[in-house]
Amino acid sequence: MAHIKTIGILTSGGDAPGMNAAIRAVTRSAIYNGFKVKGIYRGYRGLITNEIVDFKTQNVSNIIQQGGTILKTARCKEFTTPEGRKLAYEHMRNHEIDALVVIGGDGSLTGARIFAEEFDVPIVGLPGTIDNDLYGTDHTIGYDTALNTIMWCVDRIRDTASSHERLFFIEVMGRNAGFLAINGAIATGAEAAIIPEISTPEEQLDQLIQNGFRKSKNSSIVLVAESPRTGGAMALADRVKEKYPQYDTRVTILGHLQRGGSPTAQDRILASRLGAAAIDALIEGQRNVMIGDDDEKIVYVPFSKAIHKDKPVDPELVETLRRLSI
């Protein structure tokens, strides 16, 4: 697009490993194509508080391996108001930013969509969240690293669970999506995953017990997706203690451990490919799209679809876990 000279970049919402690799890819690819780049700190908040700086290739040196985001991130309430967004637009224009690349989850892309429509700004989004809950991309940036972290943690819990012959409920992140829980369970040989996508957590739990789970095993591990719909690991463990007191039950909540760490090769490569593709998309005149990866192919997914369409958990995964946990 001839009229785009300067591209602003920000990371928003929950941080995810690989965001730095994405910042690097966007910055380098933009400069390679002759654009100027401005880094916006603390997500949408930085647009409102005017924390905007020039970004050169050196600003993104030596960050591909770092977790977190060098641009920092934030949740910004002011940006959800028309006044906040107006101020954000004024600062953006004062810095002569013509287009934005927003890296974040569904909330961040929702904000991007509203902002783009209100002020006619070209915006391209990158799926940056460990939850993998954005429609139109096989994986989000950060998901693979979080999954590997979960695997590392659960392997260690298995050692103590089997020594004491305990039943462990391990809560993992995912918001309302069960991807981390189901794939984490398959990767660790867990006995079950309780996820919001199938039936009620009570039904899933009772079914597990009725199927004779634990059988000859000397430990059991159940991964629970953190969500109001599952009620979380603590509530499920309380239910087991009450209904099935014969089990020696424990709970571990992995929490923010899952957000940290150096990104895996897969996340670095995904972030690099999607980041470079974001600049191609702007050059092609694309706007209001999230860049996704569909079967190793770059795709442009309209924000409305990426945010609003539910991304289903493959029933084959649920069946595989069930079969392998006998």
Q: Does 13 bind ligand ATP (CB under 6 A)?
A: yes
Which range binds ligand ATP by CB under 6 A, 9-17, 116-124, 243-251, 309-317? 9-17
Alpha carbon distance 81, 195 (integer Å): 34
CB nearer to ligand ATP: pick between 221 and 290:
290
Least distance to ligand ATP, CB of residue 175, Å: 6
Among 11, 69, 110, 288, binds ligand ATP (CB under 6 A): 110
Q: Which of 35, 79, 179, 213 binds ligand ATP (CB under 6 A)?
A: 79
DSSP for 166-220, written as a single string:
-EEEEEE--TT--HHHHHHHHHHT-SEEE-TTSS-HHHHHHHHHHTTTTTT-S-E
> Strand 297-302's sheet: what is its strand order?
52-55, 36-40, 6-11, 99-104, 123-127, 289-294, 297-302
Determine which helix (DSSP H) or strand (DSSP E) holds 8, and give its type and residue range.
strand 6-11
**Beta-bridge partner residues of 171:** 224, 253
- Name the residue nearer to ligand ATP (CB basis): 44 or 303: 44
Query: How many Å is the maximal CA-CA distance in the chain?
Result: 70
- Residue 101 or residue 221: which is nearer to ligand ATP going by CB? 101
What sign has the CA pseudo-torsion 1, 300, 293, 295?
negative
Q: Does 263 bind ligand ATP (CB under 6 A)?
A: no
Contact of 115 with 81, CB cutoff 8 Å: no
252 touches ligand ATP by CB under 6 A: no
- Cβ atoms of residues 41 and 51 within 8 Å: yes
Please name the helix (run of DSSP H) or strand (run of DSSP E) that holds residue 268, with its range, or none: helix 265-283
Asked if residue 311 binds ligand ATP (CB under 6 A), the reply is no
Nearer to ligand ATP, 114 or 187 (CB): 114
> Does residue 304 interact with ligand ATP by CB under 6 A?
no
Residue span binding ligand ATP (CB under 6 A) among the ranges 12-20, 154-162, 227-235, 248-256: 12-20
Which region, judged by CB under 6 A, interacts with ligand ATP, from 71-79, 191-199, 222-230, 273-281? Answer: 71-79
Does 75 engage in binding with ligand ATP (CB under 6 A)? yes
Question: Which residue of this chain has its Cβ atom nearest to ligand ATP in the complex?
Answer: 107
Q: Does 322 bind ligand ATP (CB under 6 A)?
A: no
Q: Which residues pair with 7 in a beta bridge?
A: 37, 99
Minimum distance, C-beta of residue 210 to ligand ATP, in the bound complex (Å) = 35
| Catalytically annotated residue among 15, 98, 106, 131 | 131
Beta-bridge partner residues of 123: 100
Query: Does 114 participate in binding ligand ATP (rule CB under 6 A)?
Result: yes
Q: Please identify which residue in the block is written with the tokens 């017990």.
A: 209
Interacting residues with ligand ATP between 89 and 108 (CB under 6 A): 104-108
**Whole-number Å distance between alpha carbons of 125 and 145:** 20
Task: Note whether 87 binds ligand ATP by CB under 6 A.
Answer: no
H-helix or E-strand containing 136? none
Write each residue from 118 to 157 as x if it is in contact with ligand ATP (CB under 6 A), else as -, in one continuous string.
Answer: -----------x-x--------------------------
The answer to whether residue 131 is catalytic is yes
- Judged by DSSP in three states, 126 sits in strand
Q: Does 111 bind ligand ATP (CB under 6 A)?
A: yes
User: Which of these, 148, 147, 154, lies nearest to 173 by C-alpha position?
Assistant: 147
Is position 7 an interface residue for ligand ATP (rule: CB under 6 A)?
no
Residues assigned a catalytic role: 131
Q: Which residues of the shown chain bind ligand ATP in the complex (CB under 6 A)?
A: 12-14, 44, 75-76, 79-80, 104-108, 110-111, 114, 129, 131
